[in-house]
Amino acid sequence: MLALIGCGYAAAVLSGMAEKVYTIETIAPLGEEAKQRLQELGYGNVHVGIGDGSIGWKEHAPYDAIIVACAAPDLPKSLTEQLAINGKLVIPVSKTGLGHEELLKITRISETEYRKEFILDVRFVPLVGKEGYSSNG
């Protein structure tokens, strides 16, 4: 089972790689449009939620993989806690501020242990929400 923070095209692509894909969109009109379009195109294993992606979608956890398509100021605790044991989280996290992020792969080793691996330097739009950036900038 895979969770995607961000919506639409990536969810459709990932639907071919996972039994179920749960994606969260913060902006309601974009989420509704993605939900309708994915349904019309036959992506029955993609479930679209609208809400605060920085805290994930706890009701469907644990996830084998979580992909975050927005930059976080720090590693969101809610997302790491929603990983299954041996689950992986790929997320851009601020290195020195927004616009200078490191793409990280986090693997959950046990209930309390995680392994963090640096992948590469990247730039993403900000993750807004409780465990992201303020929506006011």
Asked, for residue 45, whether it belongs to a domain, the answer is: yes
**pLDDT tens digits, one per residue of 25-70:** 998 999 999 999 999 999 999 999 999 999 999 999 999 999 999 9
Asked, for residue 129, whether it belongs to a domain, the answer is: no
* Banded pLDDT at 136 (limits 50, 70, 90): low
Asked, for residue 80, whether it belongs to a domain, the answer is: yes
Asked, for residue 131, whether it belongs to a domain, the answer is: no
Q: Angle at CA 59, nearest 5°, toward 54 and 60? A: 90
- The CATH number assigned to the domain holding 94 equals 3.40.50.150
**pLDDT tens digits, one per residue of 103-133:** 999 999 999 999 999 999 999 989 999 999 9
Q: What DSSP character marks residue 127?
A: P
Instruction: Give 53: exposed, middle or buried? Use CB within 10 Å, 0-12, 13-18, 19+.
Output: buried
Q: Which residues constitute the domain of residue 29?
A: 2-122
Asked, for residue 6, whether it belongs to a domain, the answer is: yes
The pTM assigned to this predicted structure is 0.90
Domain count, the chain: 1
